[in-house]
Amino acid sequence: MKEEDLDVSKAIKKQVTQDLVNGSDKVIAILEDEELPDYLVNSPKLTRWHVVDPKGKDLNETRKIKDEIKELIVNTNF
């Protein structure tokens, strides 16, 4: 993320709760349905992005995945 000038070194992973979903306009998931709680899978607020998990990929492949996510973000109406 340093290449994008983003510091995520202190980022904290937060569990998406039903209260967070209820208070959101849109929820974007890159996980498969079996990894999501029912309240999220059944939410009309859910948008799924089918992106390869970069875990275990080399730097070049990770950069491609990052660029794909960046393009999805830029082209999404929030």
Per domain, the residue ranges of the chain are 2-74
DSSP sequence for 17-31: PHHHHHT-S-EEE-S
Per-residue model confidence as pLDDT tens digits over 27-78: 999 987 788 999 999 999 999 999 999 999 999 999 999 999 999 999 998 7
Q: How does pLDDT run across 3-23, given as a tens digit for each residue?
A: 889 898 898 988 889 999 999
Helix locations, the chain, DSSP H: 18-22, 38-41, 59-74
